[in-house]
Chains A and B, each alone.
Chain A
Amino acid sequence: MSDLKLVSPDQPTAFEQRLLDSVANEAPSAEQRLRVRLALGLPSVAPAPPPGVAVGRRALLLKAAGGASIALAALALLFAGLARKTEPAKRPAVPLVTPPLATPQVPAALPPPLLPPEPASASTSAVAPGAPDDHREGVASKRASKDPAHVPGSASADAPSDLSEQLRLIDAARSAVAAGNASAASVALSRYRTRFPRGLFGQEAAVLQIETLDLQGNHALAAAQARSFLARHPNSPHVGVVQRIAGR
Protein backbone atom coordinates (compact mmCIF):
# COMPACT_ATOMS: atom_id res chain seq x y z
CA MET A 1 0.00 0.00 0.00
CA SER A 2 2.94 2.32 0.55
CA ASP A 3 3.33 2.43 -3.21
CA LEU A 4 0.32 4.69 -3.34
CA LYS A 5 2.61 7.37 -1.97
CA LEU A 6 4.17 7.46 -5.41
CA VAL A 7 1.40 9.76 -6.46
CA SER A 8 1.18 11.62 -3.15
CA PRO A 9 -2.59 11.71 -2.85
CA ASP A 10 -4.15 14.34 -0.70
CA GLN A 11 -6.73 13.20 1.74
CA PRO A 12 -10.12 13.01 0.06
CA THR A 13 -12.75 15.40 1.26
CA ALA A 14 -15.74 14.05 3.13
CA PHE A 15 -17.81 14.44 -0.02
CA GLU A 16 -15.29 12.57 -2.14
CA GLN A 17 -15.06 9.87 0.48
CA ARG A 18 -18.83 9.50 0.48
CA LEU A 19 -18.79 9.01 -3.28
CA LEU A 20 -15.99 6.47 -3.11
CA ASP A 21 -17.64 4.57 -0.29
CA SER A 22 -20.93 4.40 -2.14
CA VAL A 23 -19.64 1.85 -4.65
CA ALA A 24 -17.15 0.07 -2.43
CA ASN A 25 -19.49 -2.65 -1.24
CA GLU A 26 -21.17 -3.76 -4.41
CA ALA A 27 -21.16 -7.50 -4.88
CA PRO A 28 -22.83 -10.00 -7.18
CA SER A 29 -25.93 -11.74 -5.92
CA ALA A 30 -25.96 -15.27 -4.58
CA GLU A 31 -28.03 -16.26 -7.61
CA GLN A 32 -25.40 -14.85 -9.93
CA ARG A 33 -22.67 -16.88 -8.27
CA LEU A 34 -24.78 -20.00 -8.58
CA ARG A 35 -25.55 -19.34 -12.24
CA VAL A 36 -21.87 -19.07 -13.08
CA ARG A 37 -21.01 -22.14 -11.04
CA LEU A 38 -23.68 -24.06 -12.91
CA ALA A 39 -22.47 -22.84 -16.27
CA LEU A 40 -18.93 -23.88 -15.41
CA GLY A 41 -20.01 -27.30 -14.25
CA LEU A 42 -18.81 -26.67 -10.72
CA PRO A 43 -20.56 -28.22 -7.75
CA SER A 44 -23.59 -26.19 -6.86
CA VAL A 45 -22.77 -26.11 -3.20
CA ALA A 46 -19.53 -24.40 -2.38
CA PRO A 47 -18.09 -22.85 0.72
CA ALA A 48 -18.63 -19.15 1.01
CA PRO A 49 -15.74 -17.30 -0.60
CA PRO A 50 -13.12 -15.96 1.76
CA PRO A 51 -14.05 -12.47 2.93
CA GLY A 52 -10.99 -10.86 1.44
CA VAL A 53 -11.87 -12.27 -1.93
CA ALA A 54 -15.56 -11.62 -1.85
CA VAL A 55 -15.74 -7.97 -1.00
CA GLY A 56 -12.38 -6.56 -1.96
CA ARG A 57 -9.78 -4.93 0.17
CA ARG A 58 -11.32 -1.52 0.22
CA ALA A 59 -14.66 -2.82 1.38
CA LEU A 60 -12.91 -4.80 4.06
CA LEU A 61 -11.10 -1.75 5.25
CA LEU A 62 -14.37 0.06 5.47
CA LYS A 63 -15.86 -2.82 7.44
CA ALA A 64 -19.10 -2.14 5.67
CA ALA A 65 -22.07 -4.44 5.91
CA GLY A 66 -23.68 -3.59 2.60
CA GLY A 67 -24.41 -5.71 -0.43
CA ALA A 68 -21.73 -8.30 0.18
CA SER A 69 -23.10 -9.24 3.55
CA ILE A 70 -26.58 -9.42 2.16
CA ALA A 71 -25.36 -11.63 -0.66
CA LEU A 72 -23.52 -13.90 1.73
CA ALA A 73 -26.57 -14.09 3.96
CA ALA A 74 -28.68 -15.02 0.95
CA LEU A 75 -26.12 -17.64 0.01
CA ALA A 76 -26.23 -19.09 3.51
CA LEU A 77 -30.02 -19.14 3.35
CA LEU A 78 -29.90 -20.82 -0.02
CA PHE A 79 -27.47 -23.44 1.19
CA ALA A 80 -29.63 -24.03 4.23
CA GLY A 81 -32.49 -24.71 1.85
CA LEU A 82 -30.29 -27.04 -0.17
CA ALA A 83 -29.28 -28.91 2.95
CA ARG A 84 -32.89 -29.36 3.97
CA LYS A 85 -33.84 -30.63 0.54
CA THR A 86 -30.93 -32.99 0.29
CA GLU A 87 -31.77 -34.91 3.49
CA PRO A 88 -28.41 -36.64 3.72
CA ALA A 89 -29.73 -39.41 5.96
CA LYS A 90 -32.05 -40.61 3.21
CA ARG A 91 -30.11 -39.85 0.05
CA PRO A 92 -26.71 -40.95 -1.14
CA ALA A 93 -24.08 -38.30 -0.69
CA VAL A 94 -23.77 -37.53 -4.38
CA PRO A 95 -22.55 -34.01 -5.01
CA LEU A 96 -24.49 -31.94 -7.46
CA VAL A 97 -22.10 -32.16 -10.36
CA THR A 98 -22.86 -29.95 -13.30
CA PRO A 99 -20.73 -30.41 -16.39
CA PRO A 100 -20.12 -27.22 -18.34
CA LEU A 101 -22.51 -26.06 -20.97
CA ALA A 102 -20.11 -24.34 -23.24
CA THR A 103 -16.99 -26.36 -22.81
CA PRO A 104 -16.66 -29.33 -25.10
CA GLN A 105 -14.76 -31.32 -22.55
CA VAL A 106 -14.84 -35.06 -22.38
CA PRO A 107 -17.03 -35.76 -19.39
CA ALA A 108 -15.16 -37.45 -16.60
CA ALA A 109 -16.82 -40.19 -14.63
CA LEU A 110 -20.04 -38.50 -13.79
CA PRO A 111 -22.47 -39.66 -11.17
CA PRO A 112 -25.78 -40.89 -12.48
CA PRO A 113 -28.53 -38.33 -12.81
CA LEU A 114 -30.20 -37.61 -9.54
CA LEU A 115 -33.59 -38.17 -11.09
CA PRO A 116 -34.32 -41.70 -12.24
CA PRO A 117 -36.47 -41.95 -15.35
CA GLU A 118 -40.11 -42.42 -14.68
CA PRO A 119 -41.41 -45.15 -16.99
CA ALA A 120 -45.05 -44.33 -16.36
CA SER A 121 -44.70 -40.71 -17.35
CA ALA A 122 -41.69 -40.78 -19.60
CA SER A 123 -43.69 -40.37 -22.75
CA THR A 124 -45.43 -37.29 -21.48
CA SER A 125 -42.32 -35.75 -20.03
CA ALA A 126 -40.09 -36.03 -23.05
CA VAL A 127 -38.95 -32.78 -24.62
CA ALA A 128 -41.70 -31.61 -26.88
CA PRO A 129 -39.93 -31.05 -30.18
CA GLY A 130 -42.15 -28.29 -31.42
CA ALA A 131 -42.83 -26.65 -28.14
CA PRO A 132 -42.22 -22.92 -28.14
CA ASP A 133 -39.42 -22.00 -25.82
CA ASP A 134 -40.09 -18.34 -25.28
CA HIS A 135 -41.80 -18.87 -21.98
CA ARG A 136 -38.87 -20.29 -20.15
CA GLU A 137 -35.81 -18.35 -21.08
CA GLY A 138 -33.38 -16.11 -19.39
CA VAL A 139 -34.96 -12.69 -19.52
CA ALA A 140 -37.99 -13.88 -17.67
CA SER A 141 -35.87 -16.01 -15.42
CA LYS A 142 -33.62 -13.12 -14.51
CA ARG A 143 -36.65 -11.00 -13.84
CA ALA A 144 -37.80 -13.68 -11.48
CA SER A 145 -34.89 -13.01 -9.21
CA LYS A 146 -34.63 -9.27 -9.54
CA ASP A 147 -38.04 -7.80 -10.00
CA PRO A 148 -39.89 -7.71 -6.73
CA ALA A 149 -43.16 -7.33 -8.57
CA HIS A 150 -42.56 -10.40 -10.65
CA VAL A 151 -44.92 -13.29 -9.96
CA PRO A 152 -43.05 -16.51 -10.47
CA GLY A 153 -44.41 -19.80 -11.66
CA SER A 154 -45.17 -21.09 -8.24
CA ALA A 155 -46.30 -19.31 -5.14
CA SER A 156 -42.82 -19.11 -3.69
CA ALA A 157 -40.55 -19.90 -6.58
CA ASP A 158 -37.76 -17.74 -5.22
CA ALA A 159 -37.74 -19.34 -1.81
CA PRO A 160 -34.54 -21.21 -0.98
CA SER A 161 -36.27 -24.59 -1.12
CA ASP A 162 -37.61 -23.86 -4.60
CA LEU A 163 -34.25 -22.58 -5.71
CA SER A 164 -32.63 -25.76 -4.52
CA GLU A 165 -35.24 -27.76 -6.41
CA GLN A 166 -34.58 -25.72 -9.53
CA LEU A 167 -30.89 -26.37 -9.12
CA ARG A 168 -31.47 -30.06 -8.59
CA LEU A 169 -33.51 -30.39 -11.77
CA ILE A 170 -31.06 -28.40 -13.87
CA ASP A 171 -28.16 -30.34 -12.40
CA ALA A 172 -29.92 -33.58 -13.21
CA ALA A 173 -30.58 -32.49 -16.78
CA ARG A 174 -27.02 -31.34 -17.25
CA SER A 175 -25.58 -34.55 -15.83
CA ALA A 176 -27.86 -36.57 -18.08
CA VAL A 177 -26.81 -34.61 -21.17
CA ALA A 178 -23.16 -35.04 -20.27
CA ALA A 179 -23.70 -38.77 -19.81
CA GLY A 180 -25.53 -39.01 -23.12
CA ASN A 181 -28.80 -39.95 -21.44
CA ALA A 182 -31.32 -37.97 -23.46
CA SER A 183 -34.42 -39.50 -21.90
CA ALA A 184 -33.32 -38.66 -18.35
CA ALA A 185 -32.49 -35.15 -19.51
CA SER A 186 -35.95 -34.84 -21.04
CA VAL A 187 -37.60 -35.95 -17.83
CA ALA A 188 -35.67 -33.45 -15.74
CA LEU A 189 -36.26 -30.60 -18.18
CA SER A 190 -39.94 -31.37 -18.47
CA ARG A 191 -40.28 -31.32 -14.70
CA TYR A 192 -38.36 -28.09 -14.54
CA ARG A 193 -40.58 -26.38 -17.11
CA THR A 194 -43.74 -27.66 -15.47
CA ARG A 195 -42.80 -26.62 -11.98
CA PHE A 196 -40.90 -23.46 -12.82
CA PRO A 197 -42.18 -22.03 -16.10
CA ARG A 198 -40.42 -18.76 -15.32
CA GLY A 199 -37.64 -20.21 -13.26
CA LEU A 200 -34.30 -18.69 -12.49
CA PHE A 201 -32.43 -21.01 -14.84
CA GLY A 202 -34.73 -20.73 -17.83
CA GLN A 203 -31.95 -19.87 -20.24
CA GLU A 204 -29.89 -22.82 -19.06
CA ALA A 205 -32.94 -25.06 -19.48
CA ALA A 206 -33.44 -23.81 -23.04
CA VAL A 207 -29.82 -24.58 -23.90
CA LEU A 208 -30.06 -28.01 -22.32
CA GLN A 209 -33.20 -28.71 -24.33
CA ILE A 210 -31.35 -27.85 -27.53
CA GLU A 211 -28.53 -30.16 -26.50
CA THR A 212 -31.02 -32.87 -25.64
CA LEU A 213 -32.69 -32.64 -29.03
CA ASP A 214 -29.29 -32.86 -30.64
CA LEU A 215 -28.46 -35.85 -28.49
CA GLN A 216 -31.68 -37.55 -29.56
CA GLY A 217 -30.59 -37.20 -33.17
CA ASN A 218 -33.14 -34.54 -33.93
CA HIS A 219 -30.48 -32.31 -35.39
CA ALA A 220 -32.73 -30.23 -37.63
CA LEU A 221 -35.03 -29.21 -34.82
CA ALA A 222 -32.10 -28.67 -32.47
CA ALA A 223 -30.48 -26.39 -35.05
CA ALA A 224 -33.73 -24.50 -35.59
CA GLN A 225 -34.19 -23.95 -31.86
CA ALA A 226 -30.55 -23.00 -31.58
CA ARG A 227 -30.93 -20.33 -34.25
CA SER A 228 -34.06 -19.06 -32.56
CA PHE A 229 -32.19 -18.91 -29.26
CA LEU A 230 -29.32 -16.99 -30.84
CA ALA A 231 -31.72 -14.50 -32.38
CA ARG A 232 -33.26 -13.83 -28.99
CA HIS A 233 -30.07 -13.93 -26.97
CA PRO A 234 -27.18 -12.81 -29.16
CA ASN A 235 -25.11 -11.89 -26.11
CA SER A 236 -25.90 -14.95 -24.05
CA PRO A 237 -22.97 -16.59 -22.31
CA HIS A 238 -24.15 -19.85 -23.89
CA VAL A 239 -23.69 -18.59 -27.43
CA GLY A 240 -20.68 -20.84 -28.01
CA VAL A 241 -22.38 -24.17 -27.51
CA VAL A 242 -25.60 -23.05 -29.17
CA GLN A 243 -23.76 -21.78 -32.23
CA ARG A 244 -22.09 -25.13 -32.69
CA ILE A 245 -25.48 -26.83 -32.79
CA ALA A 246 -27.01 -24.11 -34.96
CA GLY A 247 -24.30 -24.59 -37.54
CA ARG A 248 -25.00 -28.28 -38.08
Chain B
Amino acid sequence: MSGILPVVVSNPAQPTRGEVSKARLERMFNEHHDFIWRLLRRLGLSTGSADDAAQHVFLVAAERVDDIKLGSERSFLFGTALRVARSQNRSERRWVLEEDMDFRRSDAGRPEELLDHQRAVDLMGRILDSMVLDLRTVFVLSELEGMTMPEVAQLLEIPVGTAASRLRRAREAFRATAAELESKLKSGLNTR
Protein backbone atom coordinates (compact mmCIF):
# COMPACT_ATOMS: atom_id res chain seq x y z
CA MET B 1 0.00 0.00 0.00
CA SER B 2 1.46 3.31 -0.93
CA GLY B 3 -0.71 5.11 1.51
CA ILE B 4 -2.15 7.26 -1.22
CA LEU B 5 -5.87 6.99 -1.43
CA PRO B 6 -7.45 7.29 -4.84
CA VAL B 7 -9.34 10.51 -5.14
CA VAL B 8 -12.40 10.54 -7.29
CA VAL B 9 -13.18 13.98 -8.53
CA SER B 10 -16.43 14.38 -10.32
CA ASN B 11 -16.45 16.85 -13.14
CA PRO B 12 -19.41 19.13 -12.69
CA ALA B 13 -19.61 19.53 -16.45
CA GLN B 14 -19.88 15.77 -16.86
CA PRO B 15 -23.52 14.63 -16.88
CA THR B 16 -24.41 12.17 -14.16
CA ARG B 17 -25.64 8.71 -14.99
CA GLY B 18 -29.15 9.77 -14.06
CA GLU B 19 -28.99 12.72 -16.41
CA VAL B 20 -27.75 10.55 -19.23
CA SER B 21 -30.56 8.07 -18.63
CA LYS B 22 -33.12 10.82 -18.54
CA ALA B 23 -31.82 12.35 -21.76
CA ARG B 24 -31.98 8.94 -23.39
CA LEU B 25 -35.51 8.43 -22.15
CA GLU B 26 -36.52 11.78 -23.55
CA ARG B 27 -35.06 10.88 -26.92
CA MET B 28 -36.98 7.61 -26.85
CA PHE B 29 -40.15 9.49 -26.05
CA ASN B 30 -39.65 12.11 -28.75
CA GLU B 31 -38.75 9.60 -31.42
CA HIS B 32 -41.09 6.74 -30.66
CA HIS B 33 -44.06 7.74 -28.54
CA ASP B 34 -46.39 8.49 -31.43
CA PHE B 35 -45.35 5.34 -33.26
CA ILE B 36 -46.07 3.25 -30.19
CA TRP B 37 -49.42 4.96 -29.67
CA ARG B 38 -50.44 4.39 -33.30
CA LEU B 39 -49.33 0.78 -33.09
CA LEU B 40 -51.47 0.21 -30.01
CA ARG B 41 -54.46 1.79 -31.73
CA ARG B 42 -54.00 -0.38 -34.79
CA LEU B 43 -53.69 -3.45 -32.67
CA GLY B 44 -57.24 -2.81 -31.54
CA LEU B 45 -57.07 -0.59 -28.47
CA SER B 46 -59.47 2.28 -27.99
CA THR B 47 -58.07 5.79 -27.81
CA GLY B 48 -58.25 5.83 -24.02
CA SER B 49 -56.69 2.40 -23.69
CA ALA B 50 -53.96 3.32 -26.15
CA ASP B 51 -53.22 6.39 -24.03
CA ASP B 52 -52.83 4.30 -20.88
CA ALA B 53 -50.98 1.51 -22.64
CA ALA B 54 -48.50 3.89 -24.28
CA GLN B 55 -47.81 5.45 -20.90
CA HIS B 56 -47.33 1.99 -19.44
CA VAL B 57 -44.86 1.09 -22.18
CA PHE B 58 -42.75 4.15 -21.46
CA LEU B 59 -42.88 3.63 -17.69
CA VAL B 60 -41.50 0.15 -18.27
CA ALA B 61 -38.81 1.71 -20.45
CA ALA B 62 -38.02 4.23 -17.71
CA GLU B 63 -37.50 1.47 -15.21
CA ARG B 64 -35.22 -0.45 -17.55
CA VAL B 65 -33.62 2.32 -19.52
CA ASP B 66 -30.12 1.40 -18.37
CA ASP B 67 -30.64 -2.20 -19.47
CA ILE B 68 -31.81 -1.36 -22.97
CA LYS B 69 -29.10 -1.95 -25.51
CA LEU B 70 -28.06 1.14 -27.41
CA GLY B 71 -29.75 1.13 -30.80
CA SER B 72 -32.46 -1.26 -29.62
CA GLU B 73 -34.76 1.35 -28.15
CA ARG B 74 -37.47 1.03 -30.75
CA SER B 75 -37.31 -2.72 -30.65
CA PHE B 76 -37.67 -2.70 -26.87
CA LEU B 77 -40.63 -0.33 -26.96
CA PHE B 78 -42.24 -2.29 -29.78
CA GLY B 79 -41.94 -5.61 -27.96
CA THR B 80 -43.29 -4.10 -24.77
CA ALA B 81 -46.19 -2.54 -26.66
CA LEU B 82 -47.06 -5.88 -28.24
CA ARG B 83 -47.13 -7.54 -24.83
CA VAL B 84 -49.22 -4.75 -23.35
CA ALA B 85 -51.66 -4.91 -26.26
CA ARG B 86 -52.02 -8.67 -25.86
CA SER B 87 -52.68 -8.32 -22.15
CA GLN B 88 -55.43 -5.78 -22.61
CA ASN B 89 -58.90 -6.93 -21.85
CA ARG B 90 -60.09 -8.48 -25.05
CA SER B 91 -63.66 -7.60 -24.33
CA GLU B 92 -62.73 -4.00 -24.91
CA ARG B 93 -62.79 -3.69 -28.65
CA ARG B 94 -61.94 -0.59 -30.53
CA TRP B 95 -64.03 -1.39 -33.52
CA VAL B 96 -67.67 -1.56 -32.63
CA LEU B 97 -69.67 -2.29 -35.72
CA GLU B 98 -73.16 -3.54 -35.99
CA GLU B 99 -73.63 -6.46 -38.32
CA ASP B 100 -76.49 -4.84 -40.21
CA MET B 101 -74.47 -1.74 -40.87
CA ASP B 102 -76.26 0.71 -43.09
CA PHE B 103 -74.34 0.89 -46.33
CA ARG B 104 -76.73 3.36 -47.92
CA ARG B 105 -76.21 6.40 -45.79
CA SER B 106 -74.21 8.45 -48.21
CA ASP B 107 -75.43 10.20 -51.33
CA ALA B 108 -72.15 9.90 -53.13
CA GLY B 109 -71.85 7.82 -56.26
CA ARG B 110 -68.74 5.63 -56.03
CA PRO B 111 -68.11 3.25 -53.13
CA GLU B 112 -64.99 5.07 -52.02
CA GLU B 113 -67.02 8.27 -51.94
CA LEU B 114 -69.72 6.58 -49.91
CA LEU B 115 -67.36 6.33 -47.01
CA ASP B 116 -67.20 9.19 -44.63
CA HIS B 117 -64.05 9.26 -42.59
CA GLN B 118 -65.40 7.62 -39.46
CA ARG B 119 -67.00 4.79 -41.36
CA ALA B 120 -63.78 4.24 -43.27
CA VAL B 121 -61.91 4.06 -39.96
CA ASP B 122 -64.45 1.58 -38.62
CA LEU B 123 -64.28 -0.60 -41.71
CA MET B 124 -60.51 -0.55 -41.63
CA GLY B 125 -60.72 -1.63 -38.02
CA ARG B 126 -63.01 -4.47 -38.92
CA ILE B 127 -60.54 -5.64 -41.53
CA LEU B 128 -57.62 -5.44 -39.10
CA ASP B 129 -59.62 -7.29 -36.47
CA SER B 130 -60.21 -10.10 -38.92
CA MET B 131 -56.48 -10.74 -39.26
CA VAL B 132 -54.46 -12.92 -36.95
CA LEU B 133 -51.98 -10.91 -34.90
CA ASP B 134 -48.88 -11.97 -36.84
CA LEU B 135 -50.34 -10.85 -40.15
CA ARG B 136 -51.91 -7.78 -38.65
CA THR B 137 -48.63 -6.60 -37.14
CA VAL B 138 -46.73 -6.93 -40.41
CA PHE B 139 -49.54 -5.27 -42.31
CA VAL B 140 -49.64 -2.32 -39.91
CA LEU B 141 -45.88 -1.84 -39.94
CA SER B 142 -45.57 -2.11 -43.70
CA GLU B 143 -48.76 -0.67 -45.11
CA LEU B 144 -49.59 1.92 -42.49
CA GLU B 145 -46.20 2.84 -41.06
CA GLY B 146 -44.40 2.56 -44.38
CA MET B 147 -41.58 0.41 -43.06
CA THR B 148 -39.46 -1.67 -45.40
CA MET B 149 -39.38 -5.44 -45.20
CA PRO B 150 -35.91 -5.54 -43.63
CA GLU B 151 -37.06 -3.02 -41.06
CA VAL B 152 -40.16 -5.06 -40.29
CA ALA B 153 -38.15 -8.25 -40.13
CA GLN B 154 -35.61 -6.69 -37.81
CA LEU B 155 -38.26 -5.31 -35.49
CA LEU B 156 -40.09 -8.62 -35.32
CA GLU B 157 -36.84 -10.59 -35.23
CA ILE B 158 -37.92 -12.82 -38.08
CA PRO B 159 -36.34 -13.57 -41.47
CA VAL B 160 -37.14 -11.13 -44.26
CA GLY B 161 -38.74 -13.93 -46.24
CA THR B 162 -41.10 -14.70 -43.38
CA ALA B 163 -42.05 -11.06 -43.07
CA ALA B 164 -42.68 -10.86 -46.81
CA SER B 165 -44.79 -14.00 -46.71
CA ARG B 166 -46.87 -12.63 -43.87
CA LEU B 167 -47.34 -9.36 -45.70
CA ARG B 168 -48.48 -11.18 -48.82
CA ARG B 169 -51.08 -13.12 -46.84
CA ALA B 170 -52.13 -10.02 -44.95
CA ARG B 171 -52.65 -8.14 -48.19
CA GLU B 172 -54.72 -11.00 -49.57
CA ALA B 173 -56.88 -10.93 -46.46
CA PHE B 174 -57.17 -7.16 -46.66
CA ARG B 175 -58.21 -7.23 -50.30
CA ALA B 176 -60.70 -10.01 -49.83
CA THR B 177 -62.43 -8.25 -46.96
CA ALA B 178 -62.27 -4.87 -48.65
CA ALA B 179 -63.82 -6.35 -51.80
CA GLU B 180 -66.62 -7.84 -49.74
CA LEU B 181 -67.32 -4.51 -48.07
CA GLU B 182 -67.15 -2.67 -51.37
CA SER B 183 -69.61 -5.10 -52.82
CA LYS B 184 -72.00 -4.44 -49.96
CA LEU B 185 -71.65 -0.73 -50.52
CA LYS B 186 -72.42 -1.13 -54.20
CA SER B 187 -75.41 -3.32 -53.59
CA GLY B 188 -76.66 -0.81 -51.05
CA LEU B 189 -76.30 1.88 -53.65
CA ASN B 190 -78.25 -0.11 -56.21
CA THR B 191 -81.15 -0.75 -53.87
CA ARG B 192 -81.79 2.92 -53.19
Contacts and interface: CB of A to CB of B under 8 A. Distances in A.
A93 B30 CA distance: 23
Query: Which of A15, A24, A32, A235 has the most chain B CB atoms inside 10 A of its CB?
Result: A15
Contacts of B34: 27-28, 49, 53-56, 68
Contact of B48 (A105, A142, A237): A142
Contacts of A123: none
Contacts of B145: 56-58
A6 interface: yes
A24 B117 CA distance: 11
A135 interface: no
B29 interface: yes
Interface stretch (A40-48, A168-176, A216-224): A40-48
Q: How large is the interface on A (under 10, 10 to 19, 20 to 34, 35 or more residues)?
A: 35 or more
Given A42-B22, A235-B52, A3 B112 contact: no
B171 A7 contact: yes
Interface in B1-48: 16, 18-19, 21-22, 25-26, 29-35, 37-38, 41-42, 47-48
Contacts of A42: 22, 25-26, 29
Contact of A23 (B32, B55, B144): B144
Given A1-B148, A58-B146, A240-B63, A49 B35 contact: no
Interface stretch (B96-104, B120-128, B129-137): B120-128
B50 to A, nearest CB: 7
B185 to A, nearest CB: 8
Q: How large is the interface on B (under 10, 10 to 19, 20 to 34, 35 or more residues)?
A: 35 or more
A141 B21 CA distance: 30
B115 interface: yes
A248 B123 CA distance: 48
Interface of B: 16, 18-19, 21-22, 25-26, 29-35, 37-38, 41-42, 47-48, 50-52, 54-56, 58-59, 62-63, 88-89, 110-112, 115, 117, 120-121, 123-125, 127, 142-150, 160, 164, 167-168, 171, 174-175, 178, 181-182, 185
